Amino acid sequence: MTAAAFLILLLIGLPIGLVLCLAALVFIWQTGNLLLIDSFPLKLFTSLDNFGLLAIPLFILIGELMNGAGITTRLVRLAASFVGAFRGGLAYINLVANMMVASILGSATAQIAMMSQVMVPEMQRAGYERAFAAGLTAYGGLLGPIIPPSIVFVVYAVLAQVAVRDMLIAGILPGLMLTGLFILTVAALGWRHAYPPGERLDWPARLAAARAAAPMLAIPLVIIGTILGGYGSPTEAAAIGAVVAAAIGFFHTRSLRLRDMPEILMRTGLNTALVLFLVAAAGVFSWVLIFGQVPQTAAAWIQSVATTPVAFMLLVLVALLIVGTVIDGIPGLIMVVPILLPIATEVYGIHPLHFGVVVSINLILGLLSPPVGIGLYVAASVSRVGALEVFRTTLPFFAVACIALVILALVPWLSLALI
């Protein structure tokens, strides 16, 4: 009955946080353990009683400040000064700029919306198909939740009870690898379709672009340097990054005004509330699953199908790719981690950080996959082009992302080397 209620509530379009809470209540009623209702509000609260979750509103605030400070345009100019002269120069600029923005923003949908407004018109004026430009920007946005800072990785760290710092560091090499594979894909498509080369700048112009963007690069350097150097927790690093972003906006670019701050803080608060309610609902849902011995039942079935860790990881890849096409990244993470993580770590001996990187990227890829694919629809909407056309045009990038997932699943070193 609980599974049926969950599916019905999901299919009628109820927000996933409410679906999780109501499904938990159905389970309590079904099992007759009405005393658990007394613990329901307490479990919602204790699910958020985690210091690591403070990093989420701060990372969101950094993104809002960055958007208001005009940082994105300067990072695009920096990318253009170094990779713009290659064949398909604007495509390279798109990816490299997305990588730099990802090291600050940490949110795929926000990054896709922001970069689509900047890059798609420029690429169309240079002769690229609008659908390709929108799709490339969307796949560049895929890097947002992978390269630190990453809200998705923070949520996974809290769910899996691993160090947020270690989880963020685990995403560095996978993010760089995915960027490199996308760049190789652009190179192959550039020669096949004869994409136009960009303008070649001399070294004085490149140095000028670097000087203009140098203060913006201080934001990811401060965040990652604080975490890697052990000078502070991810939450403290995010707080410092927010101060740096505000200082750049007020005193360097001069695009931020004090009158902008109430609106920025309001958007930050609303987006934070959405994420944290999902985390709280996940805590209740996980509590119900454990009480009902769902992980143990799932483990018994999976062990009968997958006899080795490799077989288990490949099974997870296929299953989560399907899940990711209908459920967004963080809600999907919240649903599957309580079931699959104990099986991965206790039955197959898979490192929780390695498993977290693979699962997170797998579900994030769902942002760009029909039928839901919010990232796909954001790029299509901002670019005024059909979502299915965007998906069809960028199928090579989807294939490359799937190949990267298989590599990450089979090579734990890529996730654990920097820990």
pLDDT for 358: 92
Predicted pLDDT of residue 333:
82
Q: Which domain holds residue 282?
A: 47-416
Q: Tell me whether residue 22 is in a domain.
A: no
Query: What sections of 171-260 are H helices per DSSP?
Result: 172-193, 203-228, 234-247
| pLDDT reported for residue 153 | 87
Q: What is the pLDDT of residue 30?
A: 77
- Cα 137 to Cα 114: distance, rounded to the nearest angstrom: 10
- Let me know if residue 238 belongs to a domain: yes
28 lies in some domain: no
How many whole angstroms separate alpha carbon 106 and alpha carbon 144? 5
Task: Tell me what the pLDDT averaged over the chain comes to.
Answer: 80
Confirm whether 6 is domain-assigned: no
pTM equals: 0.77
Inter-residue contact 63 to 104 (CB < 8 Å): yes
Q: Which residues contact 200 (CB under 8 A, 6 or more apart)?
A: 84, 85
Is residue 155 a part of any domain in this protein?
yes
State residue 355's pLDDT score.
94
Q: What is the pLDDT of residue 23?
A: 80
Tell me, yes or no, whether 76 lies in a domain: yes
Where do runs of H (alpha helix) occur along 343-412? 352-365, 374-383, 387-393, 395-410
Residue 203 counted as domain residue: yes
The total number of structural domains in the chain stands at 1
pLDDT of residue 85: 62
Whether 42 maps to a domain, the answer reads: no
The 10s digit of each residue's pLDDT in 30-80 is 777 666 677 777 777 877 777 777 777 887 788 778 777 777 777 777 777
Longest Cα–Cα distance of the chain, Å, equals 74
Report pLDDT for 269. Answer: 86
pLDDT in tens, 332-341: 787 788 888 8
Instruction: Name residues whose C-beta falls within 8 Å of residue 288's C-beta, 6 or more positions apart in sequence.
Output: 2, 23, 24, 27, 28
- Sites in the chain below the pLDDT cut of 70: 1-3, 10, 13, 16, 33-36, 83-88, 103-107, 109-110, 194, 196-201, 289-290, 292-296, 298-299, 325-329, 371-373
Q: What is the pLDDT of residue 270?
A: 83
